[in-house]
Amino acid sequence: MLEEIVEAINKKIPEANATLNKAEIGDSTINVDSKYILPVCKFLKTEKYFNVLQVVSTVDYLPVEEKEGQPAQEGYIEVCYILASYSKNLELILKAKLPRGSAENLPKIDSVCSLWSAANFQEREAYDMMGIDFVGHPDLRRILTSQNWEGHPLRKDYVVQEVFNGMVVNPPEKMNLPDQQFGVKNNANSMSNKNPMGM
Amino acid sequence: MSYELTPEEKSESPVKEDKIKSDILTVNMGPQHPSTHGVLRVEIKTDSEIVTEAIPHIGYLHRCFEKHAENVDFRGVLPFADRMDYLAAMNMEWGWCLAVEKLLKVEVPRRAEFIRVIVAELNRIASHLMFFGTYSIDLGAFTPFLYAFQEREFILRIFEELSGARLLYNYIWVGGVWNDINDDQLKRISSFVTRMEGEVEKYHNLVGLNKIFVERTANVGIMNEELCFDYGATGPVLRGAGVNWDLRKNRPYGIYPEFDFNIPVGTGEKGTLGDCWDRYWVRMREILESVKIIRQCLDGIESGPVMGKVSKIIKPPKAEIFLRTECPRGELGYHLITDGNKEAYRVKVKSSCFTHVSMLPAVSPGLMIADLVATIGSIDIVLGEVDR
């Protein structure tokens, strides 16, 4: 089923360069070029019966440094559009890769709000949690955190801000054990008894 | 919805129409408002009593479940999953366990599968009873709440015996269930479901066919099929719009294919298809279908172990999965990405309540404020799941 869809996308929009990630365990996915996400989605909606956008999920991959035998890899962010077709009973995970960008220069991708209204809240959440700028979104504000919150919590290198609106975010007397804290996995070197949050 | 003067009235009226000025007033409903079912704030722009715009503001209960799930092991996620939709915690756990089991290729014992269906359907009944009670309160009827809680109490007692907790169970585990169910409990569940059938009829006569209730809910907050697909609505909201779709039938999981039950859909009996009354009536009939499923479970339950063989440290291979289950409020999806460690690399929850809240701006223009309360009540949101 997925092979046919990849073929159809490549026939209609060859620039999108759709490829199939076949998985032995779990779900297979389709990768497309992030610049052509809007035409691909439009094609899937109008001609391939994927009339429902269920969720926009985002994944952050940190850059990997060069190790023995393993080449260095650049970090990237994956935006997964999980679509469903109710008439054909199908499900599809469509992925687009973006560079990680920086706090001032967030990665950009076209918004699909014009196709599905569901994208409105989903993309706001992706912006809030992962820091992705959806170009053409009618109302791109933070949704789950406060409007003046700093950083994007689901990024893998996220560190909680120290003070928010005059309140200490993580007072020492309320901290849990260090091994349960966020960021421990990634900031293992900065861990010390004195400073369990790496702050 | 605005009232227009007839030509005769216009000529008789001493006030020239263009001189009447109406202001747009902004009203904040919530976050501490009883009819918003939690900490939802709706910013309402009103023209006299008619809503011109309603903007939901969410996030007051945000705990970042997804970040927690990246930092604890696969078993440790379960108590956090409970706290999303705290009124249907069994269903929240089940989805997570199914996703992990699928990656691990663990086989769940037959008895555990039956117990899972029983507790999930009982929890569905409890959740719908909660909806019935609180929705009546939203519309100004207090008595039905007491009826609903009387029956819900029984379910919570059974769950307390099984798991030790009344709301947040941590009962369904990866590989099976934590605790076996005994014959005495099965017998009591059997007598409960028989009683429940009569109760639903009683509730429907008491509330559903009540003239005031029908006036308040029929033709109000219409979410039709087109709108539901546009926003990706699921569960009773989608079925209320007349769409015959239920994951338990269309993409079955667990042992649901073995059971015989129907999918109730909205009919537009009292007003328009997809109005508040349809959503209410779909939920009431879903209770009856759950009763049917539980009865078949009680007949067919097999003896045996309740826990499959799962290694002490759960380490699924590197993979990705998106798995949906049918929860009382709609479809819950876990997008789980693993990298071969004992923690998940990324978890994303597709929450039905989040989707349904996003539909409010689309249905609210033109409603009275009181009708907006009825609409919010009828989509039955739990803010724990909206904010996660």
**pLDDT one-digit tens code per residue, B5-42:** 677 766 666 555 566 667 788 888 877 776 667 788 88
Closest chain B residue to A116, measured at CA: B230
Q: How far is A7 from chain B (nearest CA, A)?
A: 23
Q: What is the pLDDT of residue A189?
A: 47
Distances (CA, A) of B378 to A45, B227, B356, B372: 29, 16, 10, 10
How many helices (H) and strands (E) would you count in chain A? 3, 9
Q: Can you list the positions of beta strands (E) in B4-105?
A: 24-29, 41-47, 50-57
> What per-residue confidence (pLDDT) applies to A192?
44
d(CA A159, CA B308): 39
- Interface confidence, given as ipTM, is 0.82
The pLDDT tens digits for B289-341 are 999 999 998 998 888 888 888 888 888 888 889 999 999 988 999 999 998 88
Whole-number Cα distances in Å, A143 to B10, B38, B100, B204? 46, 17, 29, 38
- The better pLDDT of the pair B347, B7 is held by B347
- Tell me: the pLDDT tens digits for A65-115? 877 777 788 888 989 999 988 888 888 888 998 888 887 888 888 888 888
What is the residue type of B176?
G
CA distance A33 to A141: 26
Query: pLDDT at position A177, please?
Result: 62
Nearest-CA distance A13 → chain B (Å): 24
CB atoms within 10 A of CB A25: 15
User: How many contacts (CB atoms, under 8 Å) link A and B?
Assistant: 99
Chain B contact for A29 (CB, 8 A cutoff): yes
Write the pLDDT tens digit of every residue in B274-295. Answer: 888 989 999 999 999 999 999 9
- The pLDDT assigned to B128 comes to 92
Per-residue pLDDT of A52-62, as tens digits, reads: 888 999 998 88
Instruction: Confirm or reject contact between B362 and chain A (CB < 8 A).
Output: yes
> Searching chain A, which residue's CA lies closest to the CA of residue B387?
A144
Q: What residues are paired with B172 via a beta bridge?
A: B177
DSSP string, B351-363: -HHHHHHHTHHHH
Q: How many CB atoms lie within 10 A of CB A49?
A: 16
Alpha-carbon distance B225 to A85, whole Å? 14
pLDDT attached to residue B334: 92
B296 burial (CB, 10 Å; 0-12 / 13-18 / 19+) is middle
Upper half-sphere CA count for residue B198 (Cβ side, 13 Å): 4
| Cβ contact A55–B348 (<8 Å) | yes
Tell me if the bond preceding B31 is cis, omega within 30° of 0: yes
- The overall pTM is greater than 0.90: no
User: Is the confidence at residue A191, as pLDDT, over 50?
Assistant: no
Q: Is A58 on the interface with B (CB under 8 A)?
A: yes
Distance (Å) from the C-alpha of residue A14 to the closest C-alpha of chain B?
Answer: 27
pLDDT per residue as tens digits for the range A132-188: 989 888 888 888 888 888 888 888 888 888 888 888 887 877 766 655 555 555 544
Within 138-177 of A, beta carbons closer than 8 Å to B belong to 142-146, 153-154
Quickly list DSSP for B298-360.
HHH---S-SB----SS--PPSEEEEEEEEETTEEEEEEEEE-SSSBEEEEEEE-HHHHHHHTH
Q: Is the minimum CB–CB distance between A93 and chain B shorter than 8 Å?
A: yes
Confidence band, pLDDT 50/70/90 cuts, at residue B121: very high
